Amino acid sequence: MLNTALTSLAGIPSFLAYFAVAVVLLLLFIRLYTWVTPHDEFALIRANNPAAAIAFGGALVGFAWPLASAITHSMSLLDCAIWGAVALVVQVLTFLVSNAALKQLPQRITQGELAAGIYSAGCSITIGILNAACMSY
């Protein structure tokens, strides 16, 4: 039983390394996403804007899903970081395409229109799921 526990604990350094890469990529995603969007997500969320919270939450889930797939299927930390960066770019592009498809999306989110927030979150999550599936190489 002690050998099983020690064997299991031997994976902690790998866990910590992958988790650190994931957190860094998540923080980079948050920074890039909030830079690309013309509205201030955090100010809107602090002001209790549900459309902004839904849209931003969907973007986070949409990024985390393929990032989890990259972690699961990667052969190394570098491989994980590369595919995590791909997921980051795809997710940011998703907002840009969603914005082009639905006129005045950022303004509508800023005004608290739930339909716009749900649409944005739905696009983010849908593309995130597809992105994750494509990373199951």
Specify the pLDDT at position 80. Answer: 96
**What are the DSSP calls for 25-87, one per residue?**
HHHHHHHHHHHHSSS-HHHHHHTT-HHHHHHHHHHHHHHHHHHHHHHHH-SSHHHHHHHHHHH
The predicted pLDDT at position 137 comes to: 67
Amino acid at 43: A
**pTM (two decimals):** 0.91
Q: Which comes out higher in pLDDT, residue 77 or 10?
A: 77
